[in-house]
Amino acid sequence: MEAGNSTEVPQFLLLGLPEDPALQPVLFGLFLSMYLVTVLGNLLIILAISSDPHLHTPMYFFLSQLSCVDICFTSTTVPKMLVNIQTQRKDISYVGCLTQVYFLMAFAGLEDFLLTVMAYDRYVAVCHPLHYTAVMNPRLCGLLVLACWFTVFWVSLLHTLLMLRLTFCAGTKIQHFFCELGQVLKVACSDPFINNIAVYVATALLVVFPLTGVLFSYSQIISSIARMASTEGRYKAFSTCGSHLSVVSLFYVTSLGVYLSTAVTHSSQRSSIASVMYTVVTPMLNPFIYSMRNRDVKGALGRLLS
């Protein structure tokens, strides 16, 4: 097929989901249930934090931001996937694909940055408890969140604009259930060299830099806990970080699983399964981790529901 200008491509075909008709109702029910649980769970966390004055602290402010991002992140892919399953279609418009790429990058980057900011908050709370209130003041918390949003949305916009210069063949097939940036660049008919360079730069900015911040914060936290003489003090310090550490581990393990499955195997099905863990399962589990491992959140949820 002859390549044309990318703006003339009417649609892409998403081929990441199984084509067996017998599996379609099962997949639809499964993903719909997971999506509803994700939205409801994160919404309850946001409502519990906003309604309980005891939770109006930096840690829970960042947690409410993380829950908001989780809702937006999963809403970028799952509704379109549910529509395609229900209508037994696999198409997505060119504009819709670019929109998915933009918001997927933005919300994935926001998740990275917010987890780093939360790690810094825990570092100050454990290593400098006497200065915590002065350091983590409302103004700094607001500026940190604004900086996160500002950075990721401009980086995502840059990638989207760079994609406009690419050309695609008519009827382009993407071996995924959503428009993931790497998969879209693979099927471009023109040379994506500049886009690939931008991907490496964005990976350093949105992944390596935040992960380094998380590792540094927890290295300082562990060192501080190890110097504590009281066992009770160690347990209390570690308990304040337990939920966040669980969420960080889940996020980066699933992200690493997506990267390895894409780099090591050429199986689109395995890559899609890994991406489901990253885009659907992780946002669904985050509210459960915080509600089960955090006594304050659990109490606030109980008061909210009663």
Q: Which DSSP symbol is given to 280?
A: I
Flag whether the pTM goes above 0.85: yes
The pLDDT, as a whole number, for residue 234 is 77
pLDDT more than 70, % of the chain: 91
- Give CA–CA dist 218/215, Å, rounded: 5
> Within 10 Å of residue 6's Cβ, how many Cβ atoms?
18
- Give CA–CA dist 294/286, Å, rounded: 12
Q: What is the pLDDT of residues 97-148, one digit of tens each?
A: 999 999 999 999 999 999 999 999 999 998 888 999 999 999 999 999 999 9
The whole-number average pLDDT for the span 36-40 is 95
How deeply is 16 buried, as exposed, middle or buried, from its count of CB atoms within 10 A (0-12, 13-18, 19+)?
Answer: buried
The two tokens of residue 65 are 């931001």
Domains, the chain: 10-305 (1.20.1070.10)
Q: Which DSSP symbol is given to 188?
A: B
pLDDT more than 90, % of the chain: 40
Q: What is the pLDDT of residues 85-108, one digit of tens each?
A: 888 888 888 889 999 999 999 999
The pLDDT, as a whole number, for residue 267 is 55
The pLDDT, as a whole number, for residue 269 is 62
39, 72 contact by CB (below 8 A): no
Per-range mean pLDDT, top range of 5-14, 185-194, 270-279? 185-194
The whole-number average pLDDT for the span 13-29 is 83
- Res. 25: pLDDT tops 80: yes
